[in-house]
Amino acid sequence: MHTIIMAEFILYCLFMLVIGYLYSKKDINHSDFLLGGKKLPGWALAFSERATGESAWLLLGYTGFVFATGLSGIWVAIGISLGIIFSWLFLAKKFMKEANEYKVLTLPGYLAKRFGAHGKIILWISTILILSFMMFYFGAQIAGAGKTLFTVFRIDPVMGMIVSTIIVVILSYVGGFISVVWTDMVQSLIMLATLVVLPIVALFHIYSGDLSISQALQAAEPGIDSWTGGVTGFALGLLLFNNFAWFFGFLGGQPQLSVRFMALKNDKEAKTASIMAIVWTLLAYSGAFLIGITAITLYQGHHFADVETVLPYMTLDLLPPWIAGILLSGILAAIVSTADSQLLVVTSSISEDIIRNALGMKLTEKQLVKISRIVVIIAGIAGLIIALTSESLVYLVVSWAWAGVGCTLSPSIILAFIWKRYSGIGVIATIIAGFISTIVWISSPLEAIISSRFTTFFIAMLAGIIFSLLFPDKEEMQEIRCETAT
């Protein structure tokens, strides 16, 4: 690996640690540690939310997916982009206002306060849900970091996992949510630069080399040049539906994303953040799609042992080392920005939802921050152990995470926001049904037919509606909530 690229990678790691340190020097309370104390600008939260929402899956996974599937890969980008746009336009302000009204720091905390009579049960089952999926999801990010650092920088995978864990734990430990948001903001810009600059350079090489994208697509494997993947009828419906199903995981149920909405200060900041997040999404997914398509054109006949190495291969092939080093750091940026947010979600579930609220322990702000930092260290070590010892399990559970967390909690949030008859028992039924249906569905052959991202969402929502009708909240609880809202 070129010395310049390695030097830039090391400088990037040090730069992230310095930013984390600078935003950790002042004393912070528990609200600051978990939610930033409502002090962060909307544009920074928007960049942080996008960096958190897009792990290395966007830079490596999706670009490789488009390279392998061709034009039909666009439907994944459309489903995800519409989900992101919907969440920022219709859910962000609602999350901000509900967080202010109920004075909560976490998504489970909101549901528990909103349905007070069943609050403790909701806290326990939602925490079990989040920990069950998020710890393995976090471990997968660490394992992915090890693989990426080996592929790009030839760093031993185990050493890469350890280094990545240290960076993530330090960033989360020193300043909590505040330092994570500011480092995410920088990392988000690096990710966006990678996804915008690389396809432009690729298109220039295609033009100067007198190559044809359409001819390259036609010469590739069958279906590559088709927006429908070369299938028709029922198979076409399944392809479009399953790719679009990513939409359902963005409807408020991803706690590492929703907490950014809750941290917004006011409507003005929310509007600014929405614009920034939507523009980032459109640029990033357009760029990622173009990277896959241009790679098909530039590398006709080239065999990639792993299609997910297309982006780093193209970066090293088309760009000078000093630029390549900066852009390749965007891959690690994507991993770190997702991992540190997942670590804080695990931390908040234990320190805020369980220790402070479910168990009702009376602790000072300093004690709560101390406990949160201890949890950060323990969870970080646990995630590293998972990454080192259960790699195959990690990547299996990653496919569960989007459905198991996002598509389970999204129906709870949507129903809580729009349906007055939604009850505490309904929330419990929603979470349990989503949890069980995800595990059953994705472990069966049915997953290959219809994605659990769709089935989990609607099974969980249906359970919530049915049980809310069968077991409505008592009249007095409804009146208390109305008075609180007033």
240: number of Cβ within 10 Å: 18
Residue 51, pLDDT score: 87
Phi, psi (5° rounding) for residue 450? -130, 130
Residue 399: predicted pLDDT: 62
User: Binning pLDDT at 50, 70 and 90, where does residue 482 land?
Assistant: low
Helix, strand, or coil (residue 301): coil
55: phi then psi, degrees, rounded to nearest 5: -80, -165
The sign of the torsion formed by the CA atoms of 49, 42, 186, 83 equals: positive
pLDDT in tens, 242-288: 777 778 878 888 898 999 999 999 999 999 999 999 999 999 999 99
Q: Say if residue 156's pLDDT is above 90.
A: no
| 327, 193 Cβ separation under 8 angstroms | yes
Return the pLDDT at 277: 95
**Could you give the CA distance from residue 77 to residue 62 in angstroms, rounded to a whole number?**
9
Per cent of the chain over pLDDT 90 is: 34
More confident residue, 347 or 34: 347
pLDDT at 398 over 70: no
Nearest Cα to 183, choosing from 387, 24, 26, 34? 24
pLDDT at 30: 81
Flag whether pLDDT at 476 surpasses 50. no
Task: Give Cβ neighbours of residue 105 (< 8 Å, ≥ 6 apart).
Answer: 30, 31, 34, 35, 99, 262, 348, 352
Does 479 score more than 60 pLDDT? no
pLDDT band at 378 (very low <50, low <70, confident <90, very high): very high
Q: Which two tokens stand for residue 108?
A: 């489970």
pLDDT at 480: 52
CA distances, 7 to each of 56, 171, 207, 208 (Å): 21, 21, 32, 31
The answer to whether residues 5 and 153 touch, using CB atoms and an 8 Å cutoff, is yes
Between 39 and 121, the more confident residue is 121
Dihedral sign (CA 113, 117, 118, 123): positive
Give the model's pLDDT for residue 328.
Answer: 78
* Tokens describing residue 89: 């336009």
Annotate 196-212 with b (16+ C-beta within 10 A) or e (fewer).
ebbbebbbeebeeeeee
Mean pLDDT, rounded, for 88-103: 93
Asked whether residue 76 carries a pLDDT value surpassing 70, the answer given is yes
Distances (CA, A) of 289 to 230, 247, 276, 285: 18, 17, 20, 6
Q: What is the mean pLDDT of the chain?
A: 85
Q: What is the pLDDT of residue 395?
A: 47
Question: Are 116 and 339 in contact, with CB atoms under 8 Å apart?
Answer: no
Q: Is 254 exposed, middle or buried (0-12, 13-18, 19+ CB in 10 A)?
A: buried
Asked if residue 386 has pLDDT above 90, the reply is no
Provide the 10 A C-beta neighbour count for residue 15.
14
Q: Give 237-255 as a DSSP string.
A: HHHHHHHHGGGGGGSS--H
Apex 416 CA angle, 414 and 418, nearest 5? 65
**Is the CB of residue 34 less than 8 Å from the CB of residue 106?**
yes
pLDDT tens, residue by residue, 220-243? 888 888 887 776 676 777 777 777
**Inter-helix orientation angle 452-470/424-442, to 10°:** 150
Higher pLDDT, 451 or 200: 200
More confident residue, 195 or 3: 195
The residue type found at 224 is: I
Please give the pLDDT value at position 417.
93
| Complete DSSP assignment for 340-406 | HHHHHHHHHIIIIIIIIIIS-----HHHHHHHHHHHHHHHHHHHHHHHHH-HHHHHHHHHHHIIIII
| Alpha carbons 324 and 51: distance in angstroms, whole number | 20
The band of 364, judged by pLDDT with boundaries at 50, 70 and 90, is confident
Q: What is the pLDDT of residue 245?
A: 76
How far apart are the C-alpha atoms of 338 and 402, rounded to whole Å? 13
The CA angle 450-418-112, to the nearest 5 degrees, is: 90
Residue 475's pLDDT band (cuts 50, 70, 90): low
* pLDDT attached to residue 49: 92
Domains of the chain: 3-104+125-234+264-391 (1.20.1730.10)
E strand segments, 2-135:
none
263, amino acid identity: A
Largest CA distance in the chain: 74
Pairwise CA distance, residues 104 & 29, whole Å: 14
The 10s digit of each residue's pLDDT in 19-32 is 777 766 566 778 88
pLDDT tens, residue by residue, 51-65: 888 877 788 888 988
Tell me the pLDDT band of 336, cut-offs 50, 70 and 90: confident
Q: Rounded to an integer, what distance in angstroms lies between the CA atom of residue 480 and that of residue 486?
A: 10
